[in-house]
Amino acid sequence: MAEGQILRWSGYEHEHIERGSDWFWALAIVAICIAIVAILLHDLLFAVLIILAATVIGMLANVPPDITEFEVSDRGVRVGRDLHRYDEILAFWVEDEHDATPLLLIDTVKFMTPNIVIPLEDVDPAELRNFLREYATEVPMREPAAHKILEFFGF
């Protein structure tokens, strides 16, 4: 990519997994069991929090992700409306060997988004890797375990 060029694509931030009624029943049973234990231990607030959290997880697991616009330019990496400037990026890695969809993994200095995982749909991973090498350090890394756990729950 020449200087001043922008690489843009759109896609889902994560893969949506349809949940069957068994999944929701299991969520409800686990939440109720934990809430009962909390009540037996005289912690009503924790029981209410567990039931509320399970309800929110159940509601969010049903919602498919929105299509997000991604952009890589000489200013930084944009995910939707959020721009991650190169001075905030510690390292990146393009994971294109194991998964069906290649991933761009980015470590940042930001507190709330230290690890960014971007699916690369309709993008040449080699071209993206060559462009990012001019601005950031390439360090081998894996998809964060927290991201895999959230993806399992449908977030």
Domain assignment present for residue 113? The answer is yes
Q: Which amino acid is at 72?
A: V
Most confident region among 13-17, 37-41, 75-79 by mean pLDDT: 37-41
Residues 98 and 140 in one domain: yes
Residues 129 and 79 in one domain: yes
Could you tell me the CATH number of the domain that includes residue 133? Answer: 2.30.29
Residues 52 and 126 in one domain: no
User: What's the domain range around 29?
Assistant: 21-61
Residues 54 and 70 in one domain: no
Residues 121 and 143 in one domain: yes
Confidence (pTM): 0.70
Residues 143 and 115 in one domain: yes
Residues 148 and 73 in one domain: yes
- Least confident window among 43-47, 65-69, 99-103, 115-119: 99-103
Residues 40 and 107 in one domain: no
Domain assignment present for residue 143? The answer is yes
Instruction: Measure the CA–CA gap between 100 and 63, rounded to whole angstroms.
Output: 23
Mean residue pLDDT of the chain comes to 85
Instruction: Measure the CA–CA gap between 81 and 88, rounded to whole angstroms.
Output: 16
Residues linked to residue 8 through DSSP beta bridges, in sequence order: 71
Domain assignment present for residue 2? The answer is no
What total of structural domains would you count in the chain? Answer: 2
Domain assignment present for residue 92? The answer is yes
Domain assignment present for residue 1? The answer is no
Domain assignment present for residue 41? The answer is yes
Residues 78 and 137 in one domain: yes
Residues 44 and 28 in one domain: yes
Structure confidence by residue, pLDDT tens digits, 90-132: 899 888 776 677 888 888 888 877 888 888 878 888 888 888 8
In the 3-class helix/strand/coil scheme, how is the chain assigned residue by residue? CCCCCCEEEEEECCCCCCCCHHHHHHHHHHHHHHHHHHHHCCCHHHHHHHHHHHHHHHHHHCCCCCEEEEEECCCEEEECCEEEEHHHEEEEEEECCCCCCCEEEEEECCCCCCEEEEECCCCCHHHHHHHHHCCCCECCCCCCHHHHHHHHCCC
